[in-house]
Amino acid sequence: MASRTMDDFNLDTYLLRAGALDLSAIDWAAVPRYPLSSEAIRTMRFMQDIESHTIVYLRSLLATRAINEPDVAAFLACWVNEETFHGLALERFLAAAGHPIGSRPKPHGHENPAQWLEARGTAFVSRLWADFCAVHMTWGAINELTTLMGYRRLAALTSHPVLAEMLERIQHDESRHFFFYYRQAEIRLRRPVVARVARVLVDRFWGPVGSGVQPRSELRFMAGYLFSDAEGVAAVRKVDETIRRLPGFATVQLLEAWLDRYVKGGRNGHSRD
């Protein structure tokens, strides 16, 4: 990521190279040969849920103006395909490791009341505000970079060769997703009035990726596992510092502030996610 600049992103190149992760290229039979900690398994279960939740999230996005923007619509079509295969890869890995996901209490495709409200709220704000896409792109940049760092940390905290190879492929996709969203956000936030409204909405409503998908306890567990040590804190700061380079976001408080509040210092506190 560091070797590229934000100007490098080219949508045509992305669309030409986009494609689902090749599940047949992973050596599933070798998965059970290497140990995995219970923390890593619990974290992967949560990551799998977030990835497979993408199709539900897409439903909210399709109710916004995003589909009126040809570049964004073309990207989203490929993006949802790639994210879905990240979910399938994690599901298959967990099954191969002897920890199948099984049935989940909350079926995908059905919104809970909070998600219903969020989806309707997003659609409503989008209708009122023509530049809503700037928030969507900023939000996407934060989430994709957080996800990329999360997978990078998981690979570092485990020493499982098959997992490492699978995560490398996933990180490659997440990195390209991040570049798309970030570049779009950078362009759209150049208008000061757009940047001001976007910043207010992020300050008010942003929560880490995965908020609302599973219980808060799982989100806190995953964040604590991935981001508590020195390398984890450095990864979190990298996310925050990168987003602070967007117009109007120089002082935004994101992941590090959330971790300090809800994982390190406030295990009993209540988050709004």
| Residues in touch with Fe ion (CB under 5 A) | 51, 83, 86, 144, 174, 177
Query: What is the nearest approach in angstroms of Fe ion to the Cβ of residue 60?
Result: 16
Query: What is the nearest approach in angstroms of Fe ion to the Cβ of residue 260?
Result: 25
Query: What is the nearest approach in angstroms of Fe ion to the Cβ of residue 54?
Result: 7
Q: Which is nearer to Fe ion, 83 or 240 (CB)?
A: 83
Sign of CA dihedral 259, 224, 242, 85: negative
Query: What is the nearest approach in angstroms of Fe ion to the Cβ of residue 48?
Result: 10
Q: Which is nearer to Fe ion, 90 or 97 (CB)?
A: 90
Q: Give percent helix, percent strand, percent coil of the chain, each to the nearest 5.
A: 70, 0, 30
The two most distant CA atoms of the chain are separated, in Å, by 56
Collapse the DSSP code of 214 into the 3-class scheme (helix H, G, I; strand E, B; otherwise coil) and give the result.
Answer: strand
C-alpha 63 chain-centroid distance: 20
* Count, residues in the chain: 273
* Side-chain half-sphere exposure of 85, counting CA atoms within 13 A: 20
Q: Which is nearer to Fe ion, 79 or 225 (CB)?
A: 79
Query: What is the nearest approach in angstroms of Fe ion to the Cβ of residue 14?
Result: 12
Q: Which is nearer to Fe ion, 144 or 240 (CB)?
A: 144
Q: Which is nearer to Fe ion, 83 or 186 (CB)?
A: 83
d(CA 82, CA 51): 9
